[in-house]
Chain A
């Protein structure tokens, strides 16, 4: 991987992901989308270009919210690909899809903060190159506003009290070398200057971080879906069963057609979300981001599943990369918010659009004037 990174950096194909920043390539999200899609065709592609999770999200946090000293110490080496990072948010003890549940503590003691808690699915913490973690915890658990109780703070990986307990496999894959770790934080002391943005601003940072991170996942998933469909078509055109090529069988053709339709639908949605992020900002695009975060992993899983089916038992082996790609895509129905959370947000937004009209409805049902009448049924 380090050799790939050296090549990519020398070729100028480096840090293409960071928009509107002095650090990135100066591409908008809409411009980055087709490039990220190509990188996403391989599970190792994004890292080769220094465009992989969780580093891109963490670099975005440092670029947006870090102090000059934090940027010098952590952002610069991350941008240069010399170190890697991890994001410690999810906890085994609570339903972390609701981030207000996070129980880890960040307590001020003089010029330091003391951290305690247990995290898991801290992707990247197992990587020997991982040097810095962003830790989310409660700094003011009784604050009246439950979205102001959390903070984010930088924790050097080698700080005493940080212990990687184990690596969590994903359907048996260890995702080496970065892995997904369960990590304990026991009386971890870090300088007060490691606080990001300020106490109580953790939720604000999370929202800023997760929007771009989510759309990058979706862009990569389009690439994974495209590659799976290519593999499906090639295999179906080369294998015969019951006297006919698989590609000549109706069920295969229907799946190929549906896959093409679904992938193109996802691409259009992703490009629309990217455009909206560019012109209106990440917050204004949160509904579009939620939509793609539901549809992109589901479509990728479906297309990969169809490809696996065409490959037969070979599809679930490690010989063709489909099983690993499926495991990665399936994980993204949970990572950065499960489908259900995003669907809930989309529904709330949609219901909100009609709230005023709904309040004017008569108890008996819809107002007659709100529904078009069919021809011949005039009042």
Chain B
């Protein structure tokens, strides 16, 4: 599907696409940090792991 965009958008598209290829896709498999440690209340029945 082809659309006519302004020069500004075309340039940004090219740069965002290049950034995704260079940085984002390669980083997808890097393990991410864990969530903030949860605090369980005794009544919740939830046990943090």
B39 is contacted by which of A41, A165, A264 (Cβ under 8 Å)? A165
Annotate B7-41 by CB proximity to A: 1 below 8 A, 0 otherwise. Answer: 01100110111011001110110001111101111
Is the beta-carbon distance between B5 and A45 smaller than 8 angstroms? no
B35 and A38: CB pair below 8 A?
no
B19, closest chain A residue (CB):
A13
Contact A38–B13 (Cβ < 8 Å): yes
Q: Which of A1, A7, A165 contacts B19 (CB 8 A)?
A: A7
A to B CB contacts below 8 Å, 19 in the list: A7-B19, A13-B15, A13-B16, A13-B19, A31-B5, A128-B36, A164-B38, A165-B40, A167-B35, A174-B35, A176-B32, A177-B33, A177-B34, A177-B35, A178-B35, A184-B41, A267-B1, A271-B3, A321-B28
> What is the CA–CA distance of A151 and B16 in the complex, to the nearest angstrom?
38
| CB-based closest 4 A-B pairs | A126-B35, A179-B35, A177-B33, A166-B46
- We find that the number of chain B residues with CB closer than 8 angstroms to chain A is 30
Separation of A217 and B13 alpha carbons in the complex (Å) = 18
- Smallest distance from the beta carbon of A231 to chain B beta carbons, Å? 12
A264, B41: Cα distance in complex, Å = 48
Instruction: Tell me how many residues of A have a C-beta within 8 Å of chain B.
Output: 42
Contact with B along A104-146 (1 / 0, CB 8 A): 0000000000000000000001111010000000000000000
Asked if A49 CB lies within 8 Å of chain B CBs, one says: yes
A44-B28, A163-B41, A167-B35 as given contacts; A35 in contact with B9, CB under 8 Å: yes
Give Cα A164 to B16, complex, Å.
35
For B34, give its contact among A12, A166, A176 (CB under 8 Å).
A176
Kindly list chain A residues whose C-beta atoms are within 8 Å of the C-beta of B35: 126-127, 167, 174, 176-179, 181
Chain A residues with CB under 8 Å of B19's CB are 7-8, 11, 13, 48-49
Q: Which residues of B contact A43 (CB under 8 A)?
A: 28
Q: How far is the CA of A41 from the CA of B17 in the complex (A)?
A: 10
Q: How far is the CA of A235 from the CA of B8 in the complex (A)?
A: 35
Interface residues of A in 233-271 (CB under 8 A from B): 264, 267, 271
